[in-house]
Amino acid sequence: MLSPKENALGCVECHARDGRLKNLGGFYLPGRDTSPFVEILELIVIIGTLVGVIAHAVMRYLAHKKTLTGGAA
């Protein structure tokens, strides 16, 4: 029961404060609702991911550099 592509809606049609789902309640809809807990949690996850990727890259660089200079692996 999908609409034809010419009748398809964009994300903002529903995921906006005044979107098609503005009167529905009982659930969190990204883009429509705000939750300080969810927003802080997503920021922590994003920062944690970036720190993890950067730390991993630095460790790989240092391990590779150590093998090039003849150090023990």
Domains in the chain: boundaries:
1-33, 34-73
Q: What is the pTM of this model?
A: 0.57
Residues ≥6 apart with Cβ < 8 Å to 31: 11, 12, 15, 16, 19
CA-based max dimension of the chain: 66
Q: Is the pLDDT of residue 72 over 70?
A: no
**pLDDT (tens digit per residue) in 27-42:** 888 888 888 898 899 9
Q: Is the pLDDT of residue 73 over 60?
A: no
Separation of alpha carbons 46 and 53, rounded Å: 11
Average pLDDT score, the chain: 89
Separation of alpha carbons 67 and 60, rounded Å: 11
